[in-house]
């Protein structure tokens, strides 16, 4: 084991022992600062620990948030490329099938044209039809024969026309198929680059986490808890969610909510759409697909293409979108809570709506009729725990049989050692925000931590 990952294992174990109560929220608030780009630099392994010890918790938190936001943005970019590649693969397959049929028709037309050419050659003579009619002993028979000859001539003309048309169609389809192939190959190459970008950013997160001491991890966790509690309290008391009367979902919305709740505890995996693991938009899109409504795959497309609604009109099943670039999405459960796949290393969980800076909300079923009565699904006892099983990158998704296999990406960074199941793992950091609700454009606040609010409605748990 290398020294870097030995140190990572020690850090994770120490953090697990010093972690606070498992009731911490596992959602990541993001600052309004710009997302770290590809050119973001980090300290070398030899200086990372010394450097981090000199910095405040807020500064470390800002760096960690930027890294996670950059990772999630890269993940959604990968998802968009993957979706385009799926569609392009389907189109290329359809064009190939059409080209095969066109070539078969072309071969049949050529055989028919050759047969007619042989008949014409074998039955040809130098006597014109008019002279044949004058010399015939039975003019009526000659006329009937002429009609047959005319019909055969028309058939020859039609055969030649079909042959010409099939040749033209085959050339056109061959050109489209070549274009589709080159587009498909370019998308596969871009998917590989996007995948490598995610791996690189996850490695940067690992590097920063490994540079932090157990004490710093504990301080970040406390900073997170108090920040989220303050933001959620301000959200509820401000009336930003409307009246205290909860709206009911549509039939489809209820089914989507119940599907999402059934996924609680399953691991986050970037690019995953279930059923064993999910990323944020993979969870929301698959839940609505299970309910019978197909929505866009990525959080950016969900924000761009679904009807937007004010937070005061939220009902269970609606989607809450976070951060200025719409790089995260969760499903609204009611009572100011959402179900989400938070980030790499975490698991599907229930979180306060204000756990991240809110960009807005969208509704997948705007034409649906709300149910007259609605009983929310019971949540398992661990739904609100927010336990984080580690910060390691998940395994990269493998290409399916329907997709062209892109060149293999560089090997993913080794996963950080996970704490034992009986120990609470390293809590996730977060920052409080002063606005209610926290909006994606707001800047991080250095407000003092406050006690968790007592007025936040809690979903029922069994």
Residue-level pLDDT at 399: 39
Whether the per-residue pLDDT at 264 is higher than 90: the answer is yes
DSSP 185-197: HHHHHHHHHHHHH
Residue-level pLDDT at 177: 76
The more confidently predicted of residues 357 and 101 is 357
Over residues 226-246, the mean pLDDT reads 80
CATH 1.10.287.2610 fits 57-209, yes or no: yes
What is the rounded (10 degree) CA torsion for 209, 347, 85, 71? -20
Whether the per-residue pLDDT at 57 is higher than 50: the answer is yes
Q: What average pLDDT is seen over the chain?
A: 68
- Give the integer Cα–Cα distance in Å for 29 and 20: 19
Residue-level pLDDT at 235: 85
Domain ranges of the chain: 57-209, 243-362
For residue 353, name the pLDDT band (cuts at 50, 70, 90). very high
**Alpha helices per DSSP H over 212-324:** 214-237, 251-262, 280-290, 299-305
For residue 1, name the pLDDT band (cuts at 50, 70, 90). very low
| Model confidence pLDDT, tens digit, residues 72-128 | 677 777 777 777 777 777 777 777 777 777 777 767 766 766 766 666 665 554 445
Contact 388/426 with Cβ under 8 angstroms?
yes
CA 168 to chain centre: 40
> Rounded to two decimals, what is the model's pTM?
0.51
Burial class (CB in 10 A: 0-12, 13-18, 19+), 369: exposed
| Model confidence pLDDT, tens digit, residues 416-460 | 333 333 333 333 433 333 333 445 543 333 333 333 333 333 444
- Give the integer Cα–Cα distance in Å for 102 and 96: 10
Q: Could you tell me which CATH number the domain at 243-362 has? A: 3.90.1720.10
- Give the integer Cα–Cα distance in Å for 168 and 308: 47
Whether the per-residue pLDDT at 167 is higher than 90: the answer is no
Residue-level pLDDT at 100: 76
Whether the per-residue pLDDT at 320 is higher than 80: the answer is yes
Residue-level pLDDT at 425: 38
Residue-level pLDDT at 318: 96
- Percent of the chain past pLDDT 90, that is, above it, reads 22
Whether the per-residue pLDDT at 189 is higher than 70: the answer is yes
The more confidently predicted of residues 9 and 311 is 311
SS3 306: coil
């Amino acid at each position: 084991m290398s020294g870097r990952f030995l140190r990572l294992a020690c850090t994770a174990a120490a953090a697990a022992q010093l972690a606070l109560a498992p009731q911490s929220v596992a959602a990541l608030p993001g600052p309004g600062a710009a997302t770290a780009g590809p050119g973001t630099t980090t300290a070398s392994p030899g200086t990372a620990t010394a450097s981090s010890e000199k910095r405040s918790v807020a500064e470390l938190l800002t760096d960690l948030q930027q890294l996670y936001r950059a990772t999630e943005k890269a993940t959604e970019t990968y998802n968009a490329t993957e979706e385009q590649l799926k569609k392009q693969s389907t189109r290329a397959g359809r064009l190939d099938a059409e080209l095969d049929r066109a070539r078969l028709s072309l071969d049949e037309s050529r055989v028919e044209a050759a047969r007619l050419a042989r008949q014409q050659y074998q039955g040809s003579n130098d006597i014109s039809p008019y002279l044949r009619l004058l010399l015939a002993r039975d003019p009526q028979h000659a006329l009937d024969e002429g009609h047959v000859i005319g019909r055969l001539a028309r058939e020859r003309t039609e055969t030649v026309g079909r042959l010409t048309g099939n040749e033209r169609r085959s050339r056109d389809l061959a050109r489209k198929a070549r274009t589709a192939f080159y587009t498909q190959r370019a998308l596969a190459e871009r998917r590989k680059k996007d995948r490598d970008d995610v791996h690189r950013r996850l490695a940067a997160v690992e590097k920063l986490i490994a540079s932090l001491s157990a004490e710093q991890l504990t301080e970040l966790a406390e900073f997170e808890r108090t920040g989220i509690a303050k933001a959620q309290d301000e959200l509820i008391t401000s009336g930003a969610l409307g009246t205290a009367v909860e709206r009911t979902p549509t039939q489809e919305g209820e089914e989507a909510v119940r599907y999402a709740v059934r996924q609680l505890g399953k691991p986050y995996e970037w690019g995953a759409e279930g059923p064993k693991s999910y990323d944020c938009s993979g969870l929301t899109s698959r839940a609505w697909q299970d309910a019978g409504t197909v929505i866009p795959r990525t959080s950016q497309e969900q924000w761009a293409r679904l009807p937007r609604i004010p937070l005061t009109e939220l009902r269970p099943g609606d989607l809450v979108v976070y951060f200025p670039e719409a790089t995260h999405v969760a499903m609204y459960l009611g009572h100011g809570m959402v179900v989400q796949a938070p980030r790499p290393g975490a698991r599907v969980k229930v979180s306060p709506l204000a756990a991240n800076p809110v960009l807005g909300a969208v509704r997948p079923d705007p034409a649906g009729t709300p149910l007259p009565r609605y009983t929310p699904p019971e949540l398992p006892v661990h739904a609100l725990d927010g336990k984080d099983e580690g910060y390691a990158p998940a395994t990269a998704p493998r290409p399916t049989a329907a997709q062209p296999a892109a060149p293999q990406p560089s090997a993913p960074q080794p996963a950080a050692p996970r704490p034992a199941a009986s120990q609470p793992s390293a809590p996730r950091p977060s920052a409080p925000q002063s606005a209610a609700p926290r909006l994606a454009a707001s800047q991080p606040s250095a407000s003092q931590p406050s006690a968790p609010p007592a007025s936040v409605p809690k979903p029922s748990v069994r």
